[in-house]
Structure 1
């Protein structure tokens, strides 16, 4: 039933970004100086997961690139070191720095190489405040950044010594879509990726309402509904396919979320998955007990208890882990037993 699977991929960018027109115009104004060969303003885009923060930045930069001589690149910052952030930026502007180059050398290379406005999307940047990466990037004259984060005020409150660049940044906070707005977006995806009349407007509104305006969940539910209809031999998406689409979509999103996480998160998830349920201290103890074997063939080293708690927060934000009980003595559980870990934890400590 799906005629173009690319339409439903997370990184697909439609030609028109529906119901984000004012946000696009705000970003274009922030980057207006790039038309004159100067660096654009710093930008911070905040909002809950799945509302299109990264898509907004990528779409607008692609549009701007047709009007101005600019470069742009994308960096996933979750779990990244300052050196790995700068190294990814270097590769994004067609540089190939040595793998062991220190951060100051990477910054120097960027300063010497970048000769026109360049915008870097710093995705999953919640943990970047206080990182030397921000200050190092701020020292590259032709470079500006787009910070993608969940909580604007929390992010700004944690900033340290990066001049006033981000205090004066252009800021946008994206809300979830309304039911009619998301139904419009889903309708455009359906027209591009499904046969005509495969799904009704009422069904699209039902999906939009059930996912509470989160675009990513709505798009994946539409794809899941189409796959279920195909598996069941339905000529069009039927009500039962929509009913069953949400859990399948959430399962697929959880799998994708887990694959996207850095190694430390995978170790913690695997430890918890093996047990199914663990009290907080027991989880930390189990992680510490298997850490030497789990990290034996990896360049990273085990993290401490505080860092483990931070990574558990990300696992919860990604709907992979749930926390039950009192805050001071929580119990952690795996949300979806069908989402298997990507690595095996030693059976004996």
Structure 2
């Protein structure tokens, strides 16, 4: 008797009965090592960054394209590989008191949606530029700034700033002023949705790399790649994948959000394969248009808590902003007035929508019910995973 073979056979049989194999592979905010269908775009961006291979600092560049076209996937993957091949451990920005003398280039990726203060920006820049842990306590903004400036005496920096058109323009203006005080060249790869004419002023004159919307076949390939890694074999059919790809209309983010919602619906049913009603539930959980999950997950925890509770309310409890705030306050430690303020802020950010009622029972302006404008099932699933991990 070969015990090893028998154990492996039973293990494989158990995996066939399980729908979900690797949840991270299904997440719209996770990016693979090699983005599917974006080879030509990577080549164009490498052309712009080509001077780094000769030890020089390239010009700034603005990478732009519509939602869900793979901009973040391209930039994060490329910077990961550039850092691996062109930066040695001694060429990363120092985070301790020791000094380094070697010259080189440091590559860093910063999602500016999560770096809305000087301290957060410098902390994330350091955190992305070294393998060492950067403490959040015991360091001031001036100390972080000083470490970066010191390192730039001998190193150049290429920094990717993602989602630049989703934050206050003053962040880029501040960064432009900071660059003037740094002692070595710094190159910025800015990433956003706006066309060059509508780009933030700080990068409006930079050379551009346009990322086109995906074709349906490319979205199909992306979904196939993700389901192969994340789901059990034969858990989803090719026809179902094509249905999702057609529905998404070239938006990879929406297709992946709907896929994760589909899997969530199937898991709720205790199913081991995806059925058509699961697919419909997944697509229905993604509003069109919708805000990206990355933007929602970048919100402060108290805002995310409000959104999680919002999804528990029925339509009558969301019939006006005030009713919504009152209902949420009964579930949360936050006051109704604070929640009301959050709801208005979230509406300005397009995370929720205030949909005006068709009729009003009294005089004055009709009330506005509150509707989520983000992928609901995917958001609940991703934040539940984060909560389980934290605990």
Q: CA RMSD in A?
A: 4.2
- Structure 2 distance, partners of 1:203, 1:267, is 33
- Structure 1 distance, partners of 2:257, 2:212, is 19
| Residue 111 (str. 1) matches residue 129 (str. 2) | no
| Residue 49 (str. 1) matches residue 67 (str. 2) | yes
- TM-score w.r.t. length of structure 1: 0.70
Question: Which residue is 2:348 aligned to?
Answer: 313
Question: Which residue is 1:35 aligned to?
Answer: 53
Following superposition, the deviation at residue 50 of structure 1 comes to 3.1
| Residue 151 (str. 1) matches residue 194 (str. 2) | yes
Contact between 2:26 and 2:227, CA under 8 Å: does it hold in 1? no
Contact between 1:225 and 1:244, CA under 8 Å: does it hold in 2? yes
Q: What is the number of equivalent residue pairs in this alignment?
A: 309
- Structure 1 distance, partners of 2:192, 2:367, is 27
- Structure 2 distance, partners of 1:204, 1:173, is 27
- Structure 2 distance, partners of 1:255, 1:309, is 19
| Residue 221 (str. 1) matches residue 283 (str. 2) | no
**Deviations, residues 157-182 of structure 1 (Å, cap 9, x unaligned):** x52xx5xxx34523233343222210
Contact between 1:35 and 1:67, CA under 8 Å: does it hold in 2? no
Contact between 1:5 and 1:193, CA under 8 Å: does it hold in 2? yes
Following superposition, the deviation at residue 25 of structure 1 comes to 0.7
Structure 2 spans left out of the alignment, 5+ residues: 1-18, 88-104, 327-332, 358-364, 384-391
Change (3 A) 1:146 1:255: closer
Contact between 2:157 and 2:187, CA under 8 Å: does it hold in 1? yes
Larger Rg: 2
Question: Which residue is 1:137 aligned to?
Answer: 179
Following superposition, the deviation at residue 99 of structure 1 comes to 4.4
1:84 to 93, 100, 120: 120
Contact between 2:253 and 2:292, CA under 8 Å: does it hold in 1? no
- TM-score w.r.t. length of structure 2: 0.64
Following superposition, the deviation at residue 206 of structure 1 comes to 0.6
| Residue 197 (str. 1) matches residue 197 (str. 2) | no
Question: Which residue is 1:346 aligned to?
Answer: none
| Residue 210 (str. 1) matches residue 252 (str. 2) | no
Question: Which residue is 1:4 aligned to?
Answer: 22
- Structure 2 distance, partners of 1:229, 1:91, is 38
- Structure 1 distance, partners of 2:280, 2:193, is 30
Change (3 A) 1:332 1:92: farther
Change (3 A) 1:200 1:66: same
1:14 to 32, 43, 67: 32
Question: Which residue is 1:260 aligned to?
Answer: 298
Question: Which residue is 2:129 aligned to?
Answer: 93
Change (3 A) 1:267 1:6: closer
